[in-house]
């Protein structure tokens, strides 16, 4: 595992999710080396030689899918590649975000630069121009079944290469023809196999997986921090987080979460104040955070491991191993990521489920806080209805947890008789994570309200600083108000990772270290 660096060479360097995001966000400059250029030209020459020889090789001088037995003449091989981009551009639905589309370009550029796709150098250089100038194609969100690769979205992604489609450029969405007028670019003439190389691959699925990995990573960190604050607010016990307990059931995620919560509670006066209380044990949503959050962490580890393999793979078809060996296989099949994304979706939903349970627990009364987290209730409803929203979001997530990868509908007249539906897995995972961010925002508000009732006792420096920060954004509620405004502030705090950043800042200033094993493994590079 390597961290993001300031320069990246497509086709040579090892690509991680973090580096891909850094390139897409213009934090890392990416290019291709002379060695890579030579490899690309060698692969393109191998395709030209195949065309000259005339022996049938799928997608180079044959039709596609069920038309694979239809021979294409040497003169028509270029027309075939232009036609495939047009005929496969059948996406529907709202466009994906510009960042997701740019990630698709980044991931495709890296795969093509490996030198196994027969792409022309000028074609890859045009893709790099789009990345470098933030001229990002408009890509519909629906239409891929995840094999043969993400055909429809990738077709839309590369329509601008031949002067078609739309792009987002300098804050405007425009036809590619307008982009060409503004920049002086001209349409490319695709060579043999190029159209197929461009649209065969898993870059729609993989781009979504990159964003899922980042969002889930942030939600996991937030869940530990906010859960620790709720534990303090409800006077929960520290014992379920002790290292000795997790050494006898040593799942990496469980140990990591327990260590994080121990660190967050370090130096707490609140814990000391109720150390001899009569409560035997806490409800599961408090004491089982290492087991539940930890299981979701383990799922994140699995996704990151598989995603990193995919990001550095060649996923188009056929793969040009050499002039004498072009293999028509199934590297475009999205199943490896589809299943991992479905697993990650469940992992994300469970963070929301247990968060909603802690919100509900805080409203019950007892645990040292008033019912509905407000003293003057009756005339005031307190925080009652915030939990309605978290319940609605948690329920919506449960409905989205059916694994898309469990379904397959044959396409291409039966030639493509098993598909992954991984594009749906990726889209659902992001939808669930956006809901989890909202649930965690609601828990942050309720945990801070409960935390207030522990005064004048203090928690550890980390949670106290988070509480002070939140109170600069959202005041304590002693009577009803429009809580939707508070929730929106909380969502913004979560999405901007402000409390994660604050924790790291305070730890650095106070020379604190996480009491966590497996630290490096749980980093997002």
Across residues 445-473, what is the average pLDDT? 97
> By the 8 A CB rule, do 82 and 89 touch?
no
**Confidence bin at 413 (pLDDT 50/70/90):** confident
Residue 1: predicted pLDDT: 38
Across residues 467-477, what is the average pLDDT? 98
And the tokens for 110? 């890296």
Say if strands 92-95 and 7-9 run parallel, antiparallel, or are unpaired.
unpaired
Residue 106: predicted pLDDT: 98
Residue 278: predicted pLDDT: 65
Measured N-to-C along each axis, helices 252-264 and 289-311 cross at an angle, to the nearest 10 degrees, of: 120
Residue 4: predicted pLDDT: 47
Across residues 12-25, what is the average pLDDT? 97
Across residues 83-107, what is the average pLDDT? 97
In order of 182, 303, 353, 440, 493, the CA distances from 356 in angstroms are: 51, 25, 5, 8, 18
Lowest-confidence pick of 55-64, 90-99, 278-287: 55-64
* pLDDT tops 70 at residue 490: yes
Please provide the average confidence, as pLDDT, over all residues in the chain.
94
**Confidence bin at 100 (pLDDT 50/70/90):** very high
> By the 8 A CB rule, do 254 and 294 touch?
yes
* pLDDT tops 90 at residue 81: no
Beta bridge partners of 172: 169
Residue 5: predicted pLDDT: 55
Across residues 260-284, what is the average pLDDT? 87
**Per-residue b/e over 137-173, b at no fewer than 16 CB within 10 Å?**
bbbbbebbbbbbbbbbbbbbbbbbbbebbbbbbeeee
Residue 64: predicted pLDDT: 67
* pLDDT tops 90 at residue 295: yes
- In CATH, the number for domain 7-201 is 1.10.275.10
* pLDDT tops 70 at residue 354: yes
Of residues 116, 304, 94, the one with CA closest to residue 196: 116
CA pair distance 488, 156, nearest whole angstrom: 34
| % of the chain beyond a pLDDT of 70 | 97
Say if strands 29-31 and 7-9 run parallel, antiparallel, or are unpaired.
parallel
**Per-residue b/e over 365-396, b at no fewer than 16 CB within 10 Å?**
eebebbebbbeebeebebbbebbebbbebbee
CA pair distance 124, 188, nearest whole angstrom: 11
Sequence-separated (6 or more) residues with CB below 8 Å from residue 238: 262, 265, 271
Across residues 236-258, what is the average pLDDT? 97
Beta bridge partners of 30: 8
Instruction: Please count the CA atoms within 13 angstroms of the CA of 521 that sit on its side-chain side.
Output: 17
* pLDDT tops 90 at residue 78: no
DSSP, res 62 = B
CA pair distance 17, 34, nearest whole angstrom: 25
**Confidence bin at 475 (pLDDT 50/70/90):** very high
Residue with tokens 């009732």: 453
pLDDT tens, residue by residue, 195-216: 999 999 999 999 999 999 999 9
pTM, 2 dp: 0.96
Residue 151: predicted pLDDT: 96
Lowest-confidence pick of 78-82, 94-98, 269-273, 398-402: 78-82
Sequence-separated (6 or more) residues with CB below 8 Å from residue 235: 270, 273, 274, 277, 279, 367, 368, 454
**Confidence bin at 2 (pLDDT 50/70/90):** very low
Across residues 340-352, what is the average pLDDT? 98
Residue 322: predicted pLDDT: 87
Would you name the residues annotated as active-site residues? 58
Sequence-separated (6 or more) residues with CB below 8 Å from residue 506: 461, 462, 465, 512
Question: What is the H or E stretch that residue 30 is in?
Answer: strand 29-31
Residue with tokens 């898309």: 404
Across residues 366-374, what is the average pLDDT? 94
Angle at 203 between CA 201 and CA 204, to 5 degrees: 115
pLDDT tens, residue by residue, 131-167: 999 999 999 999 999 998 899 999 999 999 999 999 9
- For the chain, the domains span 7-201, 209-316+350-407+420-522
Residue with tokens 């989205």: 400
Same fold for the domain at 7-201 and the one at 209-316+350-407+420-522?
no
- In CATH, the number for domain 209-316+350-407+420-522 is 1.20.200.10
CA pair distance 220, 73, nearest whole angstrom: 55
Beta bridge partners of 366: 369
Q: What is the dihedral of CA 301, 307, 308, 314, to 10 degrees?
A: 160
And the tokens for 281? 């044990």
Lowest-confidence pick of 73-87, 109-123, 296-310, 341-355: 73-87
CA pair distance 47, 115, nearest whole angstrom: 12
Of residues 218, 108, 212, the one with CA closest to residue 423: 212
> By the 8 A CB rule, do 439 and 352 touch?
yes
More confident residue, 323 or 120: 120
CA pair distance 11, 106, nearest whole angstrom: 11
Across residues 316-343, what is the average pLDDT? 93
* pLDDT tops 90 at residue 272: no
């Amino acid at each position: 595992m390597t961290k993001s660096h300031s320069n990246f060479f497509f086709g040579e360097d090892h690509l991680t999710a973090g580096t891909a995001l850094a390139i897409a966000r213009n934090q890392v400059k990416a290019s291709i080396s002379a060695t890579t250029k030579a490899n690309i030209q060698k692969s393109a020459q191998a395709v030209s030689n195949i065309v000259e020889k005339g022996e049938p090789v799928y997608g180079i001088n044959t039709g596609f899918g069920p038309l694979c037995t239809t021979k294409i003449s040497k003169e028509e091989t270029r027309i075939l590649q232009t036609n495939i981009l047009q005929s496969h551009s059948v996406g529907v639905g709202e466009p994906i975000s510009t960042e997701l589309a740019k990630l698709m370009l980044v991931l495709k550029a890296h795969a093509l630069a490996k030198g196994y796709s027969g792409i022309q150098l000028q074609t890859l250089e045009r893709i790099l121009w789009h990345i470098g100038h933030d001229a990002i194609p408009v890509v519909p969100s629906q239409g891929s079944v995840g094999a043969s690769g993400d055909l429809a979205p990738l077709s839309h992604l590369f329509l601008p290469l031949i002067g078609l489609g739309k792009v987002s450029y300098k804050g405007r969405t425009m036809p590619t023809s307008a982009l060409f007028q503004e920049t002086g670019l001209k349409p490319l003439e695709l060579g043999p196999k190029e159209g197929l190389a461009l649209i065969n691959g898993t870059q729609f699925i993989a781009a979504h997986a990159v964003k899922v990995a980042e969002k889930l990573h942030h939600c996991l960190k937030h869940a530990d921090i906010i859960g620790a604050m709720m534990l303090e607010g409800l006077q929960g016990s520290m014992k379920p987080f002790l290292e000795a307990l997790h050494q006898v059931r040593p799942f990496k995620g469980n140990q990591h979460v327990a260590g994080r919560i121990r660190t967050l509670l370090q130096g707490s006066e609140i814990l000391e104040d109720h150390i001899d209380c009569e409560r035997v044990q806490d409800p599961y949503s408090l004491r089982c955070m290492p087991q539940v959050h930890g299981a979701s962490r383990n799922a994140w580890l699995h996704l990151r491991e598989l995603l990193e393999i995919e990001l550095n793979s060649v996923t188009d078809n056929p793969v040009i191993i050499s002039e004498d060996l072009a293999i028509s296989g199934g590297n475009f099949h999205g199943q490896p990521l589809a299943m991992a994304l479905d697993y990650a979706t469940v992992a994300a939903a469970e963070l929301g489920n247990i968060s909603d349970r802690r919100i509900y627990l805080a409203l019950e009364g007892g645990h040292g806080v008033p019912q509905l987290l407000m003293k003057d209730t009756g005339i005031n409803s307190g925080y009652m209805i915030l939990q309605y929203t978290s319940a609605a979001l948690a329920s919506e997530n449960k409905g989205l947890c059916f694994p898309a990868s469990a379904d397959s509908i044959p396409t291409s007249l039966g030639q493509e008789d098993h598909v992954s539906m991984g594009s749906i897995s990726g889209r659902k995972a992001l939808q669930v994570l956006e809901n989890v961010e909202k649930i965690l925002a609601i828990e942050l508000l309720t945990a801070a309200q409960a935390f207030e009732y522990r005064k004048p006792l203090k928690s550890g420096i980390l949670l106290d600083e988070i509480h002070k920060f939140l109170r600069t954004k959202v005041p304590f509620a002693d009577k009803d108000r429009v809580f939707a405004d508070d929730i929106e502030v909380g969502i913004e705090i979560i999405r901007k990772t402000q409390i994660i950043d604050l924790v790291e800042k305070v730890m650095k200033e106070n020379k604190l270290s996480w009491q966590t094993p497996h630290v490096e493994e749980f980093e997002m590079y």
